[in-house]
Amino acid sequence: MADLLRGVDLERVLVVPIDAAKFNPKAMVANYFGDVLAYPFFFGVNREGMALLHRKIQECARRVGAQRILVGMEATGHYHEPIVAALEGYGYQVTLINPCTTAYERSSALNWAKTDDLDLATLGSILAQNKGTDSRLLGGVYSELRMAARARRGEALQCNRLKNRICRLMDGVWREFQGLLVTEPRGGARVEPVFSDMWGRAARFFMRHYPLPQQVAELGEKGIQALSRAHRLYLKRTTAYSTEFDQGSM
C-alpha cells in the first residue's frame, strides 16, 4: 500500500467499498479521506449492473482526476465471486476483506448497529487502513482442488457422524465390543481392545452379521476361528478368545 500511494495526492485516491449480496449488492465511492463522491447505490449482479458500477466509478475518477482506485469487499461465501470476476475484467484490482475484520472494525467504534451504509463505511475505512488481503479468484485445477477438498471435508464429517451413531448403538447392545476392562495385578484397570481396528474388516463383519454377544457366545472360540478362516478375517487367537463371554455376563 505504501508503494501504491507514495507520491500520490490522497484526494485523488478513490475508495470503492462494495457490500456483496446474492441479488442486490451495494456500493459507494469516496476519496481517501472519506468524502463521499457517489452515495450508496444498489446494482445488479449482471451485465447491466456491473456496467452501472463501472460507470459510477469512472465518473468519480474523471471528476477528481483519480490516480489510484482502491476497490474492496467482504469474502462472503460465493456471492462476491461473480462481482470480483466482472471487476477484474474491467481492469480493477479487488481487495478481499475477512468478515471478522469488518466485525472488529465496527465494534471498535462502539457502534453495534448494522446497516448496509454502515457496512460500506466500515469497508471503506478498512481499505484506507490497508487491513484487507490481496486475493484472486481461483481458476482451473486450483478451483477444482478447492471443490474436491470441500466435498471431502463434508464426506468426512458425515462419516464421523455415522461412526458415532454406530458406536452408540453398539454400546447399547454389546458394550465390550469396543474393549474389555482388564484388572491390573497391582490394582487399577485398563481397557484392552478386542479388535485392533474398530472399523477394520473383522470388526465390521461381526457388527453386520453377529451384532449381539449372545450370537458370538453360541459360536464359541472354535466357531469364531472357523468364521475367520472361511471369511479371511485373520483373527488372532486372543481376539477369538476375547469375543467369548460368560453367559452370566450377558
If asked whether residues 206 and 107 sit together in one domain, one would say no
pLDDT of amino acid 157: 94
Structural domain harbouring 229: 162-249
User: Residue 156, class by beta-carbon neighbours within 10 Å (0-12 exposed, 13-18 middle, 19+ buried)?
Assistant: exposed
Grid cell locating 91: 481492469
Sign, CA dihedral 237-239-243-249, equals positive
pLDDT of amino acid 59: 94
Q: Which of 164, 143, 120, 125 is nearest to 19 (CA)?
A: 120
Q: How many CB atoms lie within 10 A of CB 125?
A: 19
Catalogue the E-assigned strands of 65-186: 68-74, 94-97, 133-134, 180-183
Q: What is the mean pLDDT of each run of 10 residues along the chain (250 residues)?
A: 77 90 89 90 92 94 90 83 89 84 70 68 82 65 84 93 92 84 80 85 91 87 87 74 48
Domain boundary among the residues 119, 136, 153 is at 136
Reported pTM = 0.57
If asked whether residues 130 and 196 sit together in one domain, one would say no
Is residue 150 included in any domain, yes or no? no
The arrangement of strands across the sheet holding 13-19 comes to 36-42, 26-31, 13-19, 68-74, 94-97, 133-134
pLDDT of amino acid 110: 55
